[in-house]
Amino acid sequence: MRFVLATANPDKAREIEAVLREAHQGIELVARPDDVAEVDETGETLEDNARLKAGALCAATGLPAIADDTGLEVDALGGAPGVHSARYAGAGATYDANVARLLAELDGLPLERRTARFSTVAVARWPGGLEVAALGSVDGLVTATPRGANGFGYDPVFVPIAGDGRTFGEMTAEEKHVHSHRGEAFRTLAQGLRVVDETENSTGGTS
């Protein structure tokens, strides 16, 4: 199965490729063509944005496409940054700038009030309109200061509850994939793609 990958973020692309490669040997991902522009994320939810990006890329290329959207929802901030996570400090903001704004807004809050969840919605879309979607979500806490040099984005300030007390930034890529929202979402997506693949092989096509 061959898909065009919507994201232009190399960090995210590496994670997606690693998880899908392990979960489904038959998936091949290719980069979005340079002449196909990124889609504005105008949706109100992560699912809206993932569907929007997958649908637009599929329409532009005529090929099956995979897209996702990820957000960090902090309870003390009413669910922010949420769908605005990638640009929390403004359009084109760096990872460090987004983290700095988040930590400034949580400054002074004790750890027990820094509860949050990381969520990813992944969507595969075919030209005929068939769509498979998957959700991954992990509960955790936002630290007062960054810890660890691995990962990207908010990884150095997010400790998954189900982990061992380390931030995603302190984990290896393989360890993060086991615990992370993106790992869960794309493992679940791979299961759905396997079903589609089996159905396609038995019927001779994908609608």
Active site residues: 69
Cβ(193)–Cβ(187) below 8 Å: no
Scan for tokens 């919507």, then name that residue.
Answer: 6
Q: By C-alpha distance, which of 68, 88, 69 is closest to 77?
A: 88
The full length of the chain comes to 207
- CA 91/CA 81 separation, integer angstroms: 13
Structure token pair of residue 80: 């922010």
177-186: b or e for each residue (b if 16 or more CB lie within 10 Å)?
Answer: bebbbbbbbb
CA dihedral 174, 34, 48, 40 (to 10 degrees): 120
